[in-house]
């Protein structure tokens, strides 16, 4: 329960939600096509050691934040889905080291995914909200969105850009911990891309700064900083257990409450920095 300390929860996450990506030869991800397209090196190897990392949520509260320079000062910057930097660098920076996309975007906005240059920078990572936690064959036969064709088409267009697939076990191992630390039952849907991205960066970096996950004083119903769509559910959650994710991260925050209110910033120790 929540009476466990910050370090205990970090150690639970580290032990039970290891960073896991699909490798060529994993179950159905076999054969020449997957051999050619799935990165043979691990993410740690591709990115090298990272001291400080920024996780930039797509939140509307980043608009007019002027956080761009601070964000770019990190060794690596993670962004999500179709969140752009062009035209917004004053608020969100211009560096993109990694980008996590969901399979829904890849399939339902395929033409854009294959054409928009914003996806071509840095390392790409995709995930699919499959209900299967362990059985890769079951998942391959019946993903939430059938991403295989888009993945392979993208790889043919950008053969040198590393493009990883997160193992679906990660989202459910993380979900289990979210449920254990929540006082009430949470919906059986996978954690948001943002929450999964925090876990990925805790595995890769010594220290991470997360921007506008816990909202600042700029909080409003503006969904994304880059488009004028208004909906409180973007910040408070609907399909994803977003409010439970935010409670957990609030509990883990090592920065001050003032950083949250003024900047929308949370500071977390990477897994390597905690003595478990
Ligand atoms: O909006 P989305 O998320 O791409 O945002 C990325 C992550 O930022 C955090 N966030 C975002 C907005 C906000 N006001 N507050 C926030 O805290 C969340 O942690 C979020 O995960 C997703 O998680 O993949 C999601 O993707 C979109 C959409 O599929 C993509 O943008 C592609 O178009 C989903 N929206 C819809 O399906 C309509 C969203 O629910 C979750």
Query: How far, in Å, is the centroid of ligand 1 from the Cα of 234?
Result: 7
Q: Does 271 have pLDDT greater than 90?
A: yes
The owner of tokens 């829904």 is: 104
Residue 7: pLDDT band (50, 70, 90) is confident
pLDDT of residue 131: 86
User: Ligand 1: which of 78, 178, 192 to mutate, judged by most atoms within 8 Å of the beta carbon?
Assistant: 192
User: Ligand 1: which of 54, 55, 58, 239 to mutate, judged by most atoms within 8 Å of the beta carbon?
Assistant: 58
Residue 151: pLDDT band (50, 70, 90) is very high
Gyration radius (Cα) of the chain, Å: 18
For the record, the structure tokens of 223 come out as 């969904």
Q: What residue segments make up the domains of the chain, in order of their start?
A: 6-273
Contact 197 CB / ligand 1 (< 6 Å): no
Q: Does 1 have pLDDT greater than 50?
A: no
Contact 58 CB / ligand 1 (< 6 Å): yes
Q: Collapse the DSSP code of 230 into the 3-class scheme (helix H, G, I; strand E, B; otherwise coil) and give the result.
A: strand
Name beta bridge partners: 163.
124
φ, ψ (nearest 5 deg) of residue 78: -105, 130
| Comparison of pLDDT for 256 and 7, the residue scoring more | 256
For the record, the structure tokens of 209 come out as 């700064």
Nearest CA to ligand 1 atom 31: 81
Tens of pLDDT, residue by residue over 35-77, are: 999 999 999 999 999 999 999 999 999 999 999 999 999 999 9
Contact 104 CB / ligand 1 (< 6 Å): yes
Query: How far, in Å, is the centroid of ligand 1 from the Cα of 81?
Result: 8
Nearest CA to ligand 1 atom 4: 81
CATH topology of domain 6-273: sialyltransferase cstii, chain A (3.90.1480)
Query: How far, in Å, is the centroid of ligand 1 from the Cα of 223?
Result: 8
Cβ partners under 8 Å of residue 7, min gap 6: 274, 275, 276
Share of the chain above pLDDT 70, in %: 99
Ligand 1 atom nearest residue 194's Cα? 19
Do the interacting molecules here have an ipTM over 0.85?
yes
Q: How far apart are CA 228 and CA 214, in angstroms?
A: 21
Name beta bridge partners: 52.
207
């Amino acid at each position: 329960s929540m009476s466990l300390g910050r370090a205990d929860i970090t150690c639970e996450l580290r032990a039970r939600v290891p960073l896991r990506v699909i490798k060529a030869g994993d179950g159905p991800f076999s054969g020449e096509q997957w051999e050619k397209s799935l990165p043979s090196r691990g993410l740690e190897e591709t990115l090298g050691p990272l001291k400080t990392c920024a996780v930039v949520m797509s939140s509307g509260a980043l608009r007019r934040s002027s956080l761009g320079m601070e964000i770019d000062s990190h060794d690596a910057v993670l962004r999500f889905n179709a969140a752009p930097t062009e035209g917004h660098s004053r608020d969100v920076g211009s560096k993109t080291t990694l980008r996590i996309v969901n399979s829904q975007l890849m399939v339902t906005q395929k033409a854009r995914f294959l054409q928009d240059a914003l996806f071509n920078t840095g390392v790409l990572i995709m995930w699919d909200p499959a209900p299967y936690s362990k059985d890769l064959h079951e998942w391959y036969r019946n993903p939430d969105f059938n991403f295989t064709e888009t993945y392979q088409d993208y790889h043919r267009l950008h053969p040198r850009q590393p493009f990883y697939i997160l193992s679906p076990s990660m989202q459910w191992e993380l979900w289990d911990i979210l449920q254990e630390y929540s006082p009430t039952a949470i919906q059986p849907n996978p954690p948001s891309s943002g929450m999964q991205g925090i876990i990925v960066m805790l595995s890769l970096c010594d220290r991470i700064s997360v921007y506008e996950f816990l909202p600042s004083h700029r909080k409003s119903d503006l969904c994304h900083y880059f488009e004028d769509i208004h909906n409180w559910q973007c910040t408070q959650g609907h399909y994803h257990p977003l409010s439970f994710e935010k409670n957990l991260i609030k509990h883990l925050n090592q920065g001050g409450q003032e950083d949250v209110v003024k900047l929308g910033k949370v500071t977390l120790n990477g897994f390597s920095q905690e003595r478990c």
